[in-house]
Amino acid sequence: MSMTEAQTTTRKQALGSPLDRADGRLKIQGLATYAIEKSLENMAYAVVVQSTIPHGRIRSMNIERARQSPGILAVYNHHSGLIIHPAKTFGQGGAAAQAFLPLQDDKVLWNGQHIALVVAETLEQATEAAALIETEYEQQAAIVHPDNPDARPETVDALTIEWGDAVPALAQAEVQIGGVYTTPREYNSPIEPHGCIAHWQDGSLTLWEPSQWVGGARQVVSEWMAIDREKVRVISPYVGGGFGCKGGIQPHSALACVAARELKRPVKLALTRPQTFTAFGGRPRTHQQLALGASRDGTLQSIVHDSWNETALNDVHKEPCNAVTPLMYASPNFLSHHKLIHLNTVNPSWMRAPGENPSAFALEVAMDELAWALKMDPLALRLKNYAEQDPQAKIPWSSRQLREAYQQGADAFGWSKRPLEPRSLREGRQLIGWGMASGTYPVRRTPGEAQIVLYADGRLEVQSSGVDIGTGTYTILAQTAADVLLVAPESITVLLGDTLLPRAPVAGGSQLANLLTGAVHKTALALRDMLITLAVSTEKSPLWQQSPAALALADGFLWLSDKPNLRVSFSELLRLSGNDKLIAHQDTFATTASEDDRNKADSTSSMMVPPTEGGVSAHSWSAIFVEVAVDEDFGTVRVKRMVGAFDSGRIYNPKLTESQWIGGMVMGIGQALLEEGAIDDRDGRITNANLADYLVAVNADIPELTTIDVGKPDYLATVLGGKAVGELGIVGVAAAISNAVWHATGKRIRDLPITQDKLL
């Protein structure tokens, strides 16, 4: 491109364009190397063995036959003396998903707990030997089901939310509705199961690990192995889905690390699909008692909410079911408690919108029930109780385009034609129902760093340890830098997912896009300034001693604005100034942040800024509209169409964002109709621990899904105006489907999933 052309071309802004995924081609060509696809010389293969009882101790384990099996390098159990040190969990302000340390004692706390590790020359040999291990147990009574009288709910004081005088206000309300709403154990089920490769060299450890958070994983591994974090490198350039379960590194990775140290060989350990159901937990079972009180005209008077989630016997995962209830509607009185029930289960963990997801399920079904009790349109009831400010924090929203979401979603769906009465639409033997729900997800923020390198050949490289888990981080960071440096985004390389790169927080809590675009934007501005300074201060540069303000820059050149022919390319400028590269490094920390703060942001959640920081309350919002068809004879439910209208603030890449929202809606359909861990109450065994029996939504379950973007840039929420995307799409979907099923059949299903048996 000639200089004059570069100048006159009105450049399309990269941020906001529906660019294809930068990693898309690599992925479809099989060139994106996932963690365990790495091949190292002299690699050994490990297989974990899991317990077959839910509670007790190991009386004896016969490992002799396994040991003598061909190709076996080692068989480890609790007698082997493999030392794994405790690591801080999420709940303790650390980054480990579980406190559990495998093979440290003879205790068995859940069915499917790791109890032995077999390492061999090949995977087949390890698998065969693992089957030869014989274990005898001493069983103890297990608490498998929350209904067990020995299961005692424990109140989490920090999760009590209260204002006004909710209990009397509920009793005095003209109209009251309420019920119990439950969600079962659900499993993240990413296509790529967990697995890792641990490789020690001279006291330093490299771990290839599919991770949403390499900084957190490095921290936990350094605690497990009792070595400096600088000695640990975690690499995770591609992740085949996580949906939360790769947010915290899981205990099997500790086994790979210790075994590799013992054997002085790289060890690859992959969990089998069934093992992914008990090596880490999905979303816990939740139970919510929710009551709404309102006046005859539909004005909410009180919300009373009591909930619990199951968690492990000696471990804590909180699924705050009151994440949405205090936020969505203006109610003058509110009371909510959340409790934990400890069971013999693997510790549950994050799964897309932990907290917001079940919370919105109960609240949004209850609102539908209230609307029917008042003979009001469900959307009108929501508008009647629209929260003009954050009802809990009592501060303004940073932005809330929820009215627009209701309006545009309803218009696109044709909601105004919905008859109020259930069972009033049908197509032959199919009962048709229309339902809707609202959704929300907070804008979480953690500071981070970024680096951009300009190489001698003019190549630009954006670097961050933040991860792209299939979301689009690679793409949007190139777009961000492209807009500042005025080059094509496709010409920028982005390096991610490696602890050698600048520190970044977890790709969790739907925060990473906003954080990293903010950091990269700042870094690109810094690089731009460095280039301009270099151009005017390098004696051999054609722009020497020009005023910096008179310079323009685009397409890898700098020139004098009113004399475009006086120009120099980036690479020429580096050569003339004797630099082999130029590195800009910036961050989004407060200027007072210490090195310790920076490490904490990279490896704990303690630096996360709550959505109410800064005097405004920042959240994404949505309205979901669904049509279902329920077969009158068989009770089968099909979602026929769904419209989601979303406010995620400014959208950096509409194509990827649509894909995220749709992904959430798809997962919501699975949650509403299919997903349920079937736990055998006798022995705590998960009877459907595979993808043939644990059903997730597949293409044939998914109808036409429409998304509408109703957001506007929100610079109070984040630097570049975006809000949360990744988890928003699932919130409210199951409620909208349940409400549609009620509208079709007159049956109110408060227990997920909505299966045939519940409808017949």
Footprint of ligand MOS (CB under 6 A): 212, 244, 247, 350-352, 354, 508-509, 727
Amino acid at 116: A
Q: Which is nearer to ligand MCN, 222 or 479 (CB)?
A: 479
Structure tokens at 492: 């920028």
Beta strand extents in 324-421 (DSSP E only): 333-343
Closest-CA residue to 608 (of 731, 466, 445): 445
Least distance between ligand MCN and beta carbon 137 (Å): 36
Binding segment for ligand MCN (CB under 6 A), chosen from 158-166, 263-271, 506-514, 741-749, is 506-514
Amino acid at 569: S
Please list every residue from 623 through 662 that binds ligand MCN, using CB under 6 A.
Answer: 648-653, 656-657, 660
Least distance between ligand MOS and beta carbon 95 (Å): 13
H or E, element range at 86: none
Omega cis (within 30) before 611: no
Q: Which is nearer to ligand MCN, 61 or 710 (CB)?
A: 710
Given ligand MCN, ligand MOS, none, residue 284, with its beta carbon under 5 to 8 Å by kind, binds none
Cα distances from 490 to residues 414, 481, 650, in angstroms, run 40, 11, 21
**Three-class SS state of 489:** helix
Q: Which is nearer to ligand MCN, 518 or 684 (CB)?
A: 518
Given ligand MCN, ligand MOS, none, residue 473, with its beta carbon under 5 to 8 Å by kind, binds ligand MCN
List the end-to-end C-alpha distance of the chain, in Å, as a whole number: 68
Least distance between ligand MOS and beta carbon 511 (Å): 8
DSSP 286: E
| DSSP string for 193-237 | --EEEEEEETTEEEEE---S-HHHHHHHHHHHHTS-GGGEEEE-S
Least distance between ligand MOS and beta carbon 507 (Å): 7
Where do we find the tokens 């016997």?
A: 313
Does residue number 508 form part of the binding site for ligand MCN (CB under 6 A)?
yes
Q: Which is nearer to ligand MCN, 398 or 511 (CB)?
A: 511
Does residue number 726 form part of the binding site for ligand MCN (CB under 6 A)?
yes
Judged by CB under 6 A, the residue of 266, 348, 447, 663 near ligand MCN is 663
Closest-CA residue to 260 (of 270, 251, 269): 269
Given ligand MOS, ligand MCN, none, residue 651, with its beta carbon under 5 to 8 Å by kind, binds ligand MCN
Q: Which is nearer to ligand MCN, 103 or 512 (CB)?
A: 512
Does residue number 513 form part of the binding site for ligand MCN (CB under 6 A)?
yes
Least distance between ligand MOS and beta carbon 521 (Å): 23
Q: Which is nearer to ligand MOS, 356 or 676 (CB)?
A: 356
Least distance between ligand MOS and beta carbon 214 (Å): 14
Structure tokens at 231: 């000695």
Least distance between ligand MOS and beta carbon 611 (Å): 14
**CA 437 – CA 626 distance, rounded (Å):** 9
Least distance between ligand MCN and beta carbon 131 (Å): 32
**Largest distance between two CA atoms of the chain:** 86
Does residue number 181 form part of the binding site for ligand MCN (CB under 6 A)?
no
Does residue number 211 form part of the binding site for ligand MCN (CB under 6 A)?
no
Q: Which string of x and - marks every residue 233-272 that binds ligand MCN (by CB under 6 A)?
A: --------xxxx----------------------------
**Three-class SS state of 134:** strand
Structure tokens at 107: 């205790």
**Residues in Cβ contact with 452 at an 8 Å cutoff, skipping those fewer than 6 apart:** 460, 461, 462, 463, 481, 520, 523, 524, 527, 583, 584
Closest-CA residue to 421 (of 742, 178, 758): 742
Least distance between ligand MOS and beta carbon 592 (Å): 28
> CB nearest ligand MOS: which residue?
244
**Residues in Cβ contact with 131 at an 8 Å cutoff, skipping those fewer than 6 apart:** none
Given ligand MCN, ligand MOS, none, residue 512, with its beta carbon under 5 to 8 Å by kind, binds ligand MCN
Q: Which is nearer to ligand MOS, 14 or 351 (CB)?
A: 351
Q: Which is nearer to ligand MOS, 276 or 407 (CB)?
A: 276
Least distance between ligand MOS and beta carbon 319 (Å): 11
Does residue number 189 form part of the binding site for ligand MCN (CB under 6 A)?
no
Q: What angle do CA 697, 698, 700 make, to 5 degrees?
A: 115
* 698 CB burial (10 A radius; 0-12, 13-18, 19+): exposed
Structure tokens at 509: 């809590």
Binding segment for ligand MCN (CB under 6 A), chosen from 258-266, 311-319, 546-554, 721-729, is 721-729
Does residue number 505 form part of the binding site for ligand MCN (CB under 6 A)?
no
727 part of the active site: yes
Angle between helices 654-673 and 733-745 (to 10 degrees): 50
Please list every residue from 463 through 492 that binds ligand MCN, using CB under 6 A.
Answer: 469-473, 476
Q: Which is nearer to ligand MOS, 378 or 509 (CB)?
A: 509
Structure tokens at 506: 């977890």
**CA 6 – CA 347 distance, rounded (Å):** 57
Q: Which is nearer to ligand MCN, 570 or 652 (CB)?
A: 652
| DSSP string for 530-575 | HHHHHHHH-TTSTTTT--GGGEEEETTEEEETTEEEEEEEHHHHHH
Q: Which is nearer to ligand MCN, 46 or 725 (CB)?
A: 725
Using the Cα atoms of residue 307, residue 311, residue 315 and residue 318 in order, give the sign of their dihedral.
Answer: negative
Please answer whether residues 414 and 634 qualify as being in contact, where contact means their C-beta atoms are separated by less than 8 angstroms: no
H or E, element range at 299: none
Least distance between ligand MCN and beta carbon 518 (Å): 11
- Catalytic entry in 192, 209, 310, 727: 727
Does residue number 462 form part of the binding site for ligand MCN (CB under 6 A)?
no
Binding segment for ligand MCN (CB under 6 A), chosen from 100-108, 119-127, 327-335, 505-513, is 505-513
Q: Which is nearer to ligand MOS, 247 or 635 (CB)?
A: 247
Amino acid at 479: Q
Q: Which residues pair with 426 in a beta bridge?
A: 431
Where do we find the tokens 């840039």?
A: 713
**CA 725 – CA 510 distance, rounded (Å):** 6
Q: Tell me the helix, strand and coil percentages in the chain, rounded to 5.
A: 30, 25, 45
Least distance between ligand MOS and beta carbon 670 (Å): 15
**Three-class SS state of 271:** coil
Given ligand MOS, ligand MCN, none, residue 354, with its beta carbon under 5 to 8 Å by kind, binds ligand MOS
Tell me, by CB under 6 A, how many residues bind ligand MCN.
35
Given ligand MOS, ligand MCN, none, residue 469, with its beta carbon under 5 to 8 Å by kind, binds ligand MCN
Catalytic residue set:
727
Binding footprint of ligand MCN on the chain (CB under 6 A): 241-244, 352, 469-473, 476, 507-514, 648-653, 656-657, 660, 663, 722-727
